[in-house]
Amino acid sequence: MKKLLVMLLALVMCLSMAACGGDKDEAQVYDVAVIQLVPHPALDAATQGFQEALIAELGAENVNFTVQNAQGDPTTCTTIVNDFVTKNVDLIMANATAALQAAANGTTKIPVLGTSVTEYGTALSIEDFTGLVGGNISGTSDLAPLDQQAAMITDIFPEAKTVAMLYCSAEANSAYQVKVVTDLLTAAGLTVVDYSFSDSNDIVSVATAAAAAADVIYIPTDNTAASCTEAINGAVLPTGTPIVAGEEGICSGCGVVTLSISYYDLGYTTGKMAAQILSGEADIADMEIAYAENFTKKYNKANCDALNIDTAALEAKGYVAIQ
């Protein structure tokens, strides 16, 4: 009897330990990898929003983040993604177009969510894109209403006759925005000229040429331009040529006005999508690309003052100063 009692106690202890081990396994920790193309305020805000949303949804103790920045180099994006794939992370968040393209090329199994990507059809070479990528890819778009951005140029600068498109030719989504805005401005009777740069090395010379040739410069949501706003501002502002920007970060660095989204909110939406995927609530193959819902007209007070642009008139049109 005593021997039987000892055996029963041992069995109870084993079962208890197994139960504890089972509870530990249930609290899964997800390995979430973030690849960001380049450091600048808009992309930084998107990454922050993404992380904070995942923590809010799943708990900080259940998410392990690895954040890598490619410093603007698409080749480095590929290297970073390959490392993530080798480590078999649970999900990849790709911040900006080149990062998304690298992730799409790097894996067909690990879920990939893009953010700060303007047009997924263009970025991923999908013809007749309808909003659903399918497979292992989805995400959020930073596309602002391009017709309203074009209208800002004609509304604020009615005397302008020539508009320069300043953008990086290596960024597919920049080229997409430029084409749309060019068609709109051409239809409105303006002359539009491309001034594209291949990378940051020739941005100052191209910006200088654009400022000399045009009445207004338009810069889309372009990551290379966003990381070089100080250089652009130094080249363009002394010429008196105003810049209309595709997003707030570029506008705060070298522009005068923009119609922009909140990149933090965009990243937060992406994080909520990630939580649904990781928890099994949603299948990424069925998730359509999400778009920003709110847009704000903003102006750069310092640059407006330097160019004698009436900020009171802008505020009367619904613009608010960038803080």
How would you write the pLDDT of the chain (323 residues) with one tens digit per residue?
A: 444 444 444 444 444 444 444 443 456 999 999 999 999 889 999 999 999 999 999 999 999 999 999 999 999 999 999 999 999 999 999 999 999 999 999 999 999 999 999 999 999 999 999 999 999 999 999 998 999 999 999 999 999 999 999 999 999 999 999 999 999 999 999 999 999 999 889 999 999 999 999 999 999 999 999 999 999 999 999 999 999 999 999 999 999 999 989 999 999 999 999 999 999 999 999 999 999 988 999 999 999 999 999 999 999 999 999 98
Q: What's the pLDDT at 20?
A: 45
Total-model pTM: 0.81
SS3 of 47-98: HHHHHHHHHHHHCHHHEEEEEEECCCCHHHHHHHHHHHHHCCCCEEEEECHH
For the domain 146-260+296-321, what is the CATH superfamily, name and number? Response regulator (3.40.50.2300)
> What pLDDT, on the 0 to 100 scale, is given for residue 11?
46
Would you state the pLDDT for residue 26? 56
List the chain domain ranges: 29-142+262-291, 146-260+296-321
Q: Which residues are CB-neighbours of 139 under 8 A, at least 6 positions away?
A: 94, 100, 112, 113, 114, 115, 117, 120, 270, 273, 289, 290
Any idea which architecture 29-142+262-291 has in CATH?
3-Layer(aba) Sandwich (3.40)
